[in-house]
Chain A
C-alpha cells in the first residue's frame, strides 16, 4: 500500500505492507534509527514518537494508520545546535546511561510538559510509567524533566515579558 507520512516536517511516500509498524517505517524505510524497539508487548516506550502532536508508541501503530498524519521523532524535536530543553535536561542531570530508552523518554516527557509546565515528582513518575529504563533507576530522569520544565517556564516568562 502507498502511504504518505510527514515526518519531522517532510512528507515521505513509500509502498509498505499493511503490517509494517510505524516504528519499522521510521527505522527501516526512512533510516530514522533514533526511535528504538525494546519490547513486543507495547510496554517499554522506547519507540515513543509524536503523532499529530500526541505521544504514541510507534510499535503499536500501523504505518498505514499514520497515512496523512504528522510524525515527530527524536531527530525532529531538537538539533545538536539547538537542543530541546528536555534534551538539555537529560544531559545536565545525567538522566541517561546507555541511552537506549532516552529518545522515547524525552518524547513522552515532552507531552507531559505540554500539559503540565510544573509537574511534581509524583506526576512525572506516574506519567513515565510507560517508559522503561533499566540503567538510571529513574532518579535522575525525574530531575531531568524538572530541569527542562523550569527552563521552559523561564523561556515562556521571557517571551511574555517581551510581548
Chain B
C-alpha cells in the first residue's frame, strides 16, 4: 500500500535540519524509517512533510571520549551490533532482522520510544545520556528522564536527538527478552548492568507503557539477594491477546532472574 502523499526534505546538516524544523512545525523527522514508513503505509500516520536526517554523517558512528562512548543518533543497529559498546550489541541482535538492522538507527528507535522496543531497557540500565539539540541549543537528558510515555520521549518539537553517551566500561551486563511470536517485539525485556563502581542497575521494557527502572530488583541485587518475584505491579502493565498484564509481570520476574544470573 502507498503512504498518503507528503513533501520530502533532506537536511545537509544538523544546523540546517533545526532551521527547517523551526520554520515548518509540520515536518516529521525520518531516520531509518522502520517504524514510521510501515505506519505510513498502513496510513496510521500521515505526516504532511518529512525531514530526512538519515544521511547526516555528523550523526553517524561511534567514538570514544574518555570514559564514555559517544554514539551518533543515525548509527544503524547493524553498526551497533558490530561495535564494542557495552550491552548494546547483544540488544541490537534482538532488534528486528538483518534488513531492519541495516536501516534502523539507534537514535530513531530511542527517540520513537516504542514501549516494546529493546534499546530503552539497556539505555536505562546503563544510565546513558541523551544529547538533544533544539532551537535553544544543546541539552543533555539522563536516561531516567528520556522515556516519558507511550511513543513519547523527551525529544521535543523542533528538537533532534543527536548523540547518545554510553559508559565505556561496565563489569557485567545482560539482556533477556521474551518476544511476541508474530512481531518479534518484546513482550518483556529486562536489562541488568553491573557498573564499574559495582552498583547494579536494571530496567525493563515491553511490558508497560514505557520502559522503566526496576528499583526493587536493584535493591535486592545490590544487597546481594536473589532477584525474587513481584518486581513490577501488574496493574501498571499492558495486556493484549497474547500476554496479559499478570503474565507480563511474571515474565519480568523470570527474565530479571535470568539476566541477573549473567552479570
Contacts and interface: CB of A to CB of B under 8 A. Distances in A.
A1 B41 contact: no
B50 A130 contact: no
Given A57-B100, A127-B98, A62 B38 contact: no
Contact of A40 (B10, B42, B54): B42
Contact of B37 (A1, A48, A54, A62): A62
A73 to B, nearest CB: 14
B1 A65 contact: no
Contacts of A60: 33-34, 37-38, 100, 103
Interface string A44-76: 010010010011110111101100000000000
A92 interface: no
Interface string A95-131: 0000000000000100110000000000000010111
A45 B50 contact: no
Contacts of A127: 97-98
A19 B4 contact: yes
Contacts of A111: 98, 102
B209 interface: no
A65 B184 contact: no
Contacts of B184: 129
By DSSP majority rule, is chain A's interface helix, strand, loop, or mixed?
Answer: mixed
Contacts of A112: 98
A39 B181 CA distance: 17
Contacts of B4: 19
A54 B54 CA distance: 15
A62 B41 CA distance: 11
Contacts of B1: 40
B30 to A, nearest CB: 8
Contact of A18 (B7, B41, B42, B183): B7
B52 interface: yes
A42 B38 contact: yes
B225 interface: no
Contacts of A108: 98-99
Given A18-B7, A60-B34, A65 B98 contact: no
B96 interface: yes
Interface residues of A, number: 30
Contacts of B102: 51, 54-56, 111
B242 interface: no
Contacts of A131: 97
B42 A130 contact: no
A154 interface: no
Contacts of A59: 41
A108 B99 CA distance: 8
A65 B33 contact: yes
Given A60-B37, A62-B33, A62-B37, A42 B6 contact: no
A48 B99 contact: yes
Contacts of A129: 97, 184
15 contacts: A18-B5, A18-B7, A18-B8, A18-B50, A19-B4, A19-B5, A21-B2, A40-B1, A42-B37, A55-B102, A56-B102, A60-B103, A61-B33, A65-B33, A130-B96
Interface of A: 1, 17-19, 21, 24, 40-43, 45, 48, 51, 54-57, 59-62, 64-65, 108, 111-112, 127, 129-131
Pick the 9 closest A-B CB pairs, nearest first. A130-B97, A18-B8, A54-B102, A19-B3, A57-B99, A42-B38, A60-B37, A40-B1, A40-B41
Given A127-B98, A130-B99, 16 more contacts: A17-B5, A18-B8, A19-B6, A19-B40, A21-B37, A41-B41, A41-B42, A42-B34, A42-B100, A45-B97, A54-B78, A54-B102, A57-B100, A60-B33, A111-B98, A129-B184
